[in-house]
Amino acid sequence: MARTYEFLDHPGPIAFAHRGGAKGLPENSLPAFQRAVNLGYRYLETDVHATADGVLVAFHDRTLDRVTDRTGPIARLPYAEVARARIGGTEPIPLLADILGAWPGARVNIDIKDEPAILPLLEVLHRTRAWNRVCITSFSTRRLAALRARLPMVTGQDVCTALGPRGVMALRAKSYGGPAAKLVRLAGTGIACAQVPYGLGPVPFVTDAFIAQAHRLGLKVHVYTVNKPAEMDRLLDLGVDGIFTDDLVALRDALAVRGLWNTV
């Protein structure tokens, strides 16, 4: 069975503000996170990159180009230059430490976007003592393995992490009758949840069988990035354990109508 984590101690499905709730305000900006908190969101989601001089910023893309008024790869730029960029032309890029410090009652789901961010992330979590209120994930199985290998040495703490892509696909295969031995091992090594897309194109990724298999292994199922109320309702009917959204009001309303909106 998977271990228990304070991060996952929440009554009912978890509502995650994806990139702070990217609809309406610049994504991964402090105003976006503040709006999420003001709406009652207890769980924030963000991404991390490290600058060339090892400063950990909360930002999704590898380059500044798409959402800021500057260009260039973050990993090759000093923080002094990255700090001049403005998201949407108005908001500075926050440090992960800024987010952890500004809302000490919030829990933060952290997506490692590049390997150079691993050691700075461990340093920030060690400095802020935020181990019990984070969950760490990545779209790279290798990055997650590198992080997990360093966690005991750096922290001595047990930190909530999610399945990587290989584990997710193994879980999906098992939901269709495949082997489960590897997943059973993973569920006992700090991996407490599967964070997965709600669909692959027109085909649902999250099904009754997928959720049932995850729950048998003691894994929570968190689904991203869900912005349509009809899809929110489908997933809640299936019994998912969490939903990531850009549309904070729509998800809040979908949970509230079921009596599942919990901010405590």
Residues with catalytic roles: 18, 60
For residues 9 and 37, the answer to whether their CB atoms sit within 8 Å is: no
User: What's the DSSP call for residue 73?
Assistant: B
Q: How far is residue 135's CA from residue 7's CA, in Å, rounded to a whole number?
A: 7
Q: Is 221 helix (H, G, I), strand (E, B) or coil?
A: strand
Rounded to whole angstroms, how far apart are CA atoms 37 and 200?
Answer: 30
> Residue 57 — φ and ψ, nearest 5°?
-115, 150
Q: How far apart are CA 92 and CA 71, in angstroms?
A: 14
Q: What is the 3-state secondary structure (H, E, C) of 78-105?
A: CHHHHCCCEECCCEECCEHHHHHHHCCC
The closest of 197, 141, 202 to 172, measured between CA atoms, is: 197
Q: Report d(CA 251, CA 260) in Å as an integer.
A: 11
Beta pairing class for 43-50 and 242-245:
unpaired
